[in-house]
Structure formats: structure tokens, C-alpha cells
A and B are shown apart, each in its own frame.
Chain A
Amino acid sequence: MKRVTPAGLARGAAVTAAGLAFPLLVTAPYLMTIAIFTVMYAALATSWNLLGGFSGYLSLGHAAFFGVGAYAEAIVFTHIGIGGGYRPFAMVPLIGLGVAVAAIPIAIVFLRVRGATFAIVTISLLFIVQLLAFNLRSLTNGAQGMSMAIPPFPVATYERPFYYAMLAVFLGSVLCCWIVSTGKLGLMLFAIRDDEDRAHGLGIRVTAAKVIAFCVSAGLFAMPGAIWAYYEGFIYPQFAVDPLVTIGAVLMAFLGGRGTIWGPMLGALILVPAQQYLAYSQGASQLYLIGYSAVFLVIMLLMPRGIIPSLRDLAVSHNPFDRPAGNGESKPSTSGVSP
């Protein structure tokens, strides 16, 4: 497996350039807000994919880590007093690292079960964190929420620092996914996804691989939460620990293609602007829930493997010299992850 392909390098460079250039071309604040959320969900979906897409362990509780990231930022801001301006951004990597370390015992306990049981116990993680945010009043201020001072950034380019911070986290997540998927850990995770018992029988240290993937994924998932909390300036339990964050990230990863590098970003690029537009124009959160539900059901029924794998199959099946054995219906192949 070649680690760096020209096509892959070109894709990475193109996405980075487009991401960096966007705020210079577009300055309307509401468009920048949409862009921040799009990049945030691209980062979330990409880091969820590191566990859910590569190892096949569907975590439905990742929003808990997002919430922990958000609360960690607010707590550091309020109780430790790191100061305003750009300084809170410096905490983001530390928070990511802290959450990844804190996730080790959680991963060891939760990864004792597989398949659907794993997915449903991760849901409980969400409610645990929400309950803690409500009940640890001295730290989190309970239901009243926590606020952070608005930073003194110039009004015309107020969103830029948040946008670039999100972009940095997103590109970092993509880099992590790429390093994992082209390395030994990736091979171990793909083997686990396809047949965990056989992988174990072949001497792969499945628990270690799963725990590492879980913790990296959790740490990456917490970082956008920290930036988001600073951007919103005010958080409270239901807002910061929201099941819709998980659902959004999972939906985007499925739409784009789970287990691929760029699929989750593609899903976010398609869904988040539509979602933000709906939220602005309709306002009603109920309609928004129904829209989410409808899109999800349609994707699951019509394209359960996502856009990128489906397109790749289409491209392959139209090439008479390169027809895969199991026609388009076969399971996602384990031979690595391209686009």
C-alpha cells in the first residue's frame, strides 16, 4: 500500500486551499456562521468515522464527548481564568488530549460488548454526561448554564478565528484518519469490522486496537465542542449534550460513505447548509426533526453504503476489465480506504 498517492495529495491540497480561501471570498456573517457549522460537522463526522466507519463499532453516544469538550472549555474559562481573546483556542488541543485519556477506562468497559449492544450502551453515555452537567452544580452551574465573555475580535471578521480553528481541527481529523487507515492500526480495524473472531484468532490484539480507535475518535470529537462553546458564548446541559449532534455526525458519515476518508466531509457539505438554511427560514425545530428523520430514512433505504462507495462501485462495474467478483453487492472491501 503506497502511503502517499498523487491523487490523494491533490485532494488534500484542494480541500485545504478551498477551506483556507473561503473566508477571504465570503464575508457575510450569516454565511460564515453556516461555514463554521459545516466545518464543525465535517470534523465531527470524520472523527466519528475513525471508530464507526473503520472498526464497524457504531457509537451513538459521541455527543457526550462533544459536550465534555464544550464544558471543559467553559470550566477552564470560568474557574481557571485563562483570559479572553485568542487564548481559549490554545486550550482546545489540551482538551482533546484530556478527553482521549479520560476515554480509556470508558472504552475498556464499553468495548466488552459488541454490535448492537455496544451501540445501545454508548447511548447511555450521552445521558450520563447530561445528568452530570445538570447535577455537578458547583462546576457546571447546573441548568442555568455557563457563559463566556465575547472576545474582542474586529466585527467585520469576527467569525474568522472560530472558522480557522474549526478548519484546523477538521484537517487534523482527516490527517488522523488517513494515518490510521494507511497504517497497521487501520488494517487491524478493518479486520475487526469484517470478522472480529477471526481477527482475534489470527493474533490481532483486537482490544488494544479498538480502545485506541475509541479514544482517538473521542478526543477528536471533543475539540470542535470546545471551539463551539466559545463561539456560542453560552452553554447549558441540553444544548451542549444534544443527541442530535451524534445523529448529525452519523448521518453525514453514512451519507458520504462510512469507512472512507472524505465521505463524512462530503456528507457534511451536503447536509449542514441545508439544515442551517431550514433552521433560519423555518425556525420550527419540529419540522427540522422531521426533515432529519426523512433524510436519514431515505439514505438508509436507498443508499445504505453512502455516496462515495456507491459511485466507486458504479465506476468499477462500468469498466469491463475490472469487474469485482461479488458484483456491486459485496461488503465494503477491506483492502484499504481510498477517497
Chain B
Amino acid sequence: MHLIVQAAILGLLTGGVYALMASGLTLAFGVMRVINVAQGAMIVAGAYVSYTMFTQLQIDPFVSIVIMAPAAFVVGVAVQLVFLRPLRSDEREELSLLVTWAIALGIEGILGIFYQTTLRATRPSYVNDSLTLFGYDVSVVRLAAFAASCVILVLLYLMLQHTRFGRAIRATVQNPTAASLLGVESNRVAAYGFGISVATATAAGAVFGMITPFNAGSHYDLISRLLTIIVLGGMGSLGGAVIAALFMGMSEAILAVEMSPTWASLWFFVILVLVLLIRPQGLLGTPERGKL
């Protein structure tokens, strides 16, 4: 029992990081019907940049988030303008998958040239510290990673609920045509929305780099998990993505203890197939209407 609770705590903390990673993905889909397959590659890129800042300039990985996120926002806006906006709106959803997959390959290739394929990990001085809470060991880095993810998610939530721009985003998610009739500039919302999505990806990358060793090829593993999470949560639903991420993080960790880590990776796909069979629209998603 002790072991299972210990695994559940670990899984919850990992799930928080998954939630941050998935939030950007589901936001981009909600706002512009773009599935960013490059999200995993952008997370890995964030992890590498944070790793380099730490090893070369001794900048703490949590501090590097504050530096990287604005830069990543600008990159995201640029990517949206150059690669995604030119796609015809009636085919955007499907073509964006291929375009972002191509971007992911490009990022993988560039990272591979600079860093080769050695597995890296960002290891600040406190990486092996742990706290003991009620008899359970909790790693400080994972706790801090979880806390940072929660802070960013809360900021994201507050922005969506209480700012003018956030309302514009939510309006676009609900009904793009009506939103633009009411004066929401859909192009600007799409560009900024994608920028935010990339910024959350690199922020998640900085914490990911501390809890998991990574190399340029890690993005396939990440994106396959994240896609399962957003399908389970309901495509485009932020709340659904957070719930799904926490659930998947915990259940995977418990399974890894109870069965074996190798088979626990298949768990994501078991869940995916179950979702398709039982509730294709996901936990909090709306059923597909018309030609989705």
C-alpha cells in the first residue's frame, strides 16, 4: 500500500507537468483547429535551451523559464504567420498536422546536429534532495516542477477568464464566425494563441529537463502521450486536458510499480482505444458536429 501511495504521489507530480505540456496543445487546437505535432519537439527544444543556460551560464532552470517564455512566444507567433496562416481554412486542421510534423522533424534535426544523440539531463545542485511528508519521500525537483506548472496553469486560466484577450480567445473557441462578426480579430488571436502555446511548451521543457533524461528523439514519446491526453480530455478543452493529464500521470506510475515499466507505456494506448470505443469526444469534449 505504501508503495502504491508513493507511486501515486510521484505520478501526480509528473501529471502536473503533463498538464502544462498538454495545455498549450489543446489551446492551439481550440483556437485555430491546429494540432501542433511539434509540441513535443518544442518541449525538447525548451529543455535543451534551459540545459545550455544552466551548464554554460549557471542560470537556474526555473529562472530560465522567465527568460525563454517571451522569446518562445515571439517564435510561436512567427511560426503561425509563416507556416500555418497560409493554409486554406477548410483544410487547415488536417494539413496543419503535416506541417507541424515537418517542423518537428526540422527541430529534431537541428537539435541532433548541435547536441548529438547523448541523453542529457539538467542537474541543479538540489536535484537529489527530497522531503519526507507523512512518511512519503517527495523529490524537491518534482515538487517544484509541479508547483511551477500549477502557477503557469493558474496564470493561463486567469488570463483566459479575466482579460479582454482571454475573452477573445474563448469566443473564438466557441464560435469563430460569431466572434469575428463581433469584432474579434481572428488572425491576431490565432497568432498570439499559438505564441502562448509555444511559450508553455518551452516552460514545460525546462522542468521536463530536470525530471527526465532526454535527447532529440524524445519528442516522439512525448507527443504520443500528449495526444492521448488531449483526446482523453476532449480536444480543445483545457479543463479536460488537466484532468486527463493528472489521471494518466498517476495511473501510469501506479501501473509501473504494480506491473512493469515497459508495459506501463502501453497503458496510454489502452486508454486511447477505450476512449475511442466508449466516448470518442473525450471527457469534456463536445460531440463532433458536421465535418469536424
Contact = CB atoms under 8 A, between A and B. Distances in A.
Interface of A: 56, 58, 60, 109-110, 112-117, 119-121, 123-124, 126-128, 131, 134-135, 195-197, 243, 247, 250, 254, 284-290, 292-294, 296-297, 300-301, 304, 331
B276 A293 contact: no
Nearest to A56: B94
Contacts of B93: 115-116
Interface string B189-205: 00000000000000000
Given A119-B94, A121-B276, A290-B106, A127 B224 contact: yes
A47 B262 CA distance: 32
Nearest to A194: B291
B94 A115 contact: yes
Given A121-B272, A196-B291, A331-B90, 11 more contacts: A115-B93, A120-B231, A127-B220, A128-B266, A128-B269, A135-B262, A243-B220, A250-B98, A287-B109, A293-B105, A296-B98
A65 to B, nearest CB: 16
B231 A300 contact: no
Nearest to B282: A117
A117 B292 contact: yes
B287 to A, nearest CB: 11
Given A124-B269, A286-B109, A287-B109, A114 B98 contact: no
Given A121-B276, A127-B220, A300 B106 contact: no
The 9 nearest A-B residue pairs measured at CB: A289-B109, A293-B106, A296-B102, A290-B109, A286-B112, A293-B105, A115-B292, A116-B93, A286-B109
A292 B106 CA distance: 8
Contacts, number: 136
B276 A300 contact: no
Interface stretch (B43-51, B81-89, B158-166): B81-89
A112 B266 contact: no
Contacts of B288: 113-115, 117
B252 interface: no
Given A115-B292, A120-B35, A289-B112, A300 B102 contact: yes
Interface in B193-242: 220-221, 223-224, 227-228, 231, 235
B182 interface: no
A243 B221 CA distance: 12
A304 B235 contact: no
A334 B261 CA distance: 49
Contacts of A195: 291
B142 interface: no
A128 B263 CA distance: 11
A289 B219 CA distance: 14
Contacts of A294: 106
Contact of A131 (B99, B112, B231, B265): B265
A134 B263 CA distance: 10
Contact of B290 (A58, A121, A128, A197): A197
Contacts of B262: 131, 134-135
A292 B113 contact: no
28 contacts: A58-B97, A60-B97, A109-B273, A116-B97, A117-B288, A117-B292, A119-B35, A119-B94, A119-B97, A120-B227, A121-B231, A123-B37, A123-B227, A124-B224, A124-B228, A124-B268, A126-B224, A127-B269, A131-B265, A195-B291, A286-B109, A287-B109, A289-B109, A290-B105, A292-B105, A293-B102, A297-B103, A304-B87
